Amino acid sequence: MAEELQSYNIYDPKSIETYAKGLINKTFSQVIKEDQKSIYLISGDNSHIVSEDRYDMHIAGKEDKKNKGNLGQIIEERYFHYKCNSDSRPDFHEAGVELKVTPYKQNRDGSISAKERLVLTMIDYGQVVNEKFETGHFWTKSKLLLLIYYLYKPEIKQRIDYKIGFVSLFTPSKKDIVIIRQDYNIIVDKIKAGKAHELSEADTMYLSAAPKASSSKVRRRQPFSDIPAKPRAFAYKSSYMTFVLNNYIVPGKGTYESIETDSDKPFEQYVAEKINRYKGRSVEELASTFDLSKKQKNLESNIAFRILGITGNKAEEFAKANIVVKAIRIGKNGKIKENMSFPTFKFKELIKEDWDDSTFGNYLRETRFFFVVYKYDDMDVLRLKGCQFWNIPYDDLENGVRPVWEKTVSILKNGLEFEIRDGKHYNNFPKQTESYICHVRPHAQNSKDTYELPDGRQFPKQCFWLNNTYILSQLNDELK
DNA sequence: GCATGATCATGC
DNA sequence: GCATGATCATGC
């Protein structure tokens, strides 16, 4: 069987992309197999030439054991035929293209999303404070990516059996770069302030400082503080990559509306100023201004979307940034009436988790919140007070939420204690009074809406709640 | 008045 | 049918 000679021009991104599209519908093991057949044919002026000894190693499979899991390396060496480097230049440095191999997944409803964040470059805390965005290591390496998307399936045990679905060059849009630059500066400013140890993925919108270490115990030096910090990498959030996948790589239906900013003002400042134009208006007035039924669900957050020019409740920037909108109502007495609920957990799954990679911990670590705050005035009229972007501070997460989470797990492992009196399940989960920050309470249709406990008994579905008093303490003074 | 457990209403 | 946001009921 004659192999067709295929090659690419190392100076031309488009040519690299065209050649890379030959990967579509192949598994990584197929790539390796076909490489062994066609390796002689890769030659000529416009291609990377594989050296004799390298070729021999491929055939002997000497490297395969060691690098079995490194899918990026397979593509680099077995398809593009260049030695992978770990220097600061992009992989295809003549063309300024960085190769990224990344998973996507199919959801139950048939849609697809990025399986994880896209890690770009390690943050060198000592170096990054001396660099500028445009000329710094991160952007030099990341401004033009060649994305190779493979379909992750939990039932596939060997990583090399994953199949490549999409291949595309990618560079963020101008609008996105404005936000990515803001994100970059937020991260660098925090390091300059000696707070690298307090970095959080939810500090920023599309570009985040993602934890990147072999174990959660590893720490690095930071330049403006003696406190060691977790190693972190610049990464595009999975929410951002999901949007990229569904709008640039596989153009979709476009159900999201953009919050059109009219300036280079920081995004969040722009949003806050827009909301504040309606400060003091009653919910009733606002509902009629924006033609919203007073009975509809989420009226108070929908008002915020209308103010921002969104006719539905799907804002592009919020989706990309993993920002969750929460309406908060403060009573006449200055207190928030309700605690804030989160998705229910399954008892038997919760006990299998570690805190550092827990569902609830990760949710709080990775989610940025947009609080829209209303307050009842002396006449019991609910009026808009303003808004605030928020994510949980590092210390509250690790020293506040963590003990409650761990106590919940340990209670479940030791066997939940409860008794039923008057149809109520009195139990020993962490109570609101036990922690300043959060507690466990039912969140179900009714007491018959249950999950199975580790010991086989059924118990009403529960979730973690953030205490209303804690939320209040996090609000800016002018909102209270 | 508030903590705790239970449940409702809406929308997908 | 279920998730999510919102609210209720009881007892201290």
- Measuring alpha carbon to C1', the residue closest to nucleotide B7 is A446
Residues 329-358 of A with CB under 7 A from strand C: 329, 337-338, 341-344
Q: Which two tokens stand for residue A35?
A: 């490489």
Q: Mind listing the pLDDT tens digit for each residue in A321-343?
A: 999 999 999 999 999 999 999 99
Using the structure, give the distance in angstroms from the CA atom of A263 to the C1' atom of B11, rounded to a whole number: 35
Using the structure, give the distance in angstroms from the CA atom of A329 to the C1' atom of C7, rounded to a whole number: 13
Q: Give the per-residue pLDDT at A110.
A: 82
Neighbours of A125 (CB within 10 A): 21
Using the structure, give the distance in angstroms from the CA atom of A351 to the C1' atom of C8, rounded to a whole number: 31
Contact criterion met (CB below 8 Å) for A440 and A408: yes
pLDDT at A43 over 60: no
Q: Mind listing the pLDDT tens digit for each residue in A120-167?
A: 999 999 999 999 999 999 999 999 999 999 999 999 999 999 999 999
Instruction: Report the footprint of strand B: residues with C-beta closer than 7 angstroms.
Output: A 295-297, 333, 335, 339, 423-427, 429, 431-434, 439, 441-449, 460, 468-469
Provide the whole-model pTM: 0.91
Instruction: Calculate the alpha carbon distances from A395 to A186, A203, A363, A400 in Å.
Output: 19, 14, 16, 7
Give CA A408 to chain center in angstroms: 25
Q: Which helix H or strand E contains A371, and what residues bound it?
A: strand A368-376
pLDDT at A196 over 80: yes
Residues 413-432 of A with CB under 7 A from strand C: 422
CA distance A8 to A20: 9
Q: Give the per-residue pLDDT at A109.
A: 81
Give the whole-number percent of chain A exceeding pLDDT 90. 79
Using the structure, give the distance in angstroms from the CA atom of A338 to the C1' atom of C7, rounded to a whole number: 9
CA distance A375 to A378: 10
In A181-293, where do the E strands start and end? 207-211, 220-222, 225-229, 232-236
Under 8 Å CB-to-CB from A43, ≥6 apart: which residues? A49
Q: Which nucleotides of C are covered by protein (CB under 7 A)?
A: 2-7, 10-11
Strand bridging mode A368-376 / A323-330? parallel
Q: Give the per-residue pLDDT at A251.
A: 79
Using the structure, give the distance in angstroms from the CA atom of A419 to the C1' atom of C3, rounded to a whole number: 27
pLDDT at A410 over 90: yes
Length of chain A: 480
CA distance A327 to A374: 8
* Average pLDDT of every residue of chain A: 90
pLDDT at A243 over 90: yes
Using the structure, give the distance in angstroms from the CA atom of A168 to the C1' atom of B10, rounded to a whole number: 40
Using the structure, give the distance in angstroms from the CA atom of A197 to the C1' atom of B4, rounded to a whole number: 37
Does at least one atom of strand C sit less than 7 Å from the CB of A301? yes
Q: Which two tokens stand for residue A466?
A: 């953030």
In this structure, of A3-7, A95-99, A302-306, A425-429, the range with the lowest mean pLDDT score is: A3-7
Using the structure, give the distance in angstroms from the CA atom of A333 to the C1' atom of C8, rounded to a whole number: 20
Q: Which of the two residues, A69 and A339, has the higher pLDDT score?
A: A339
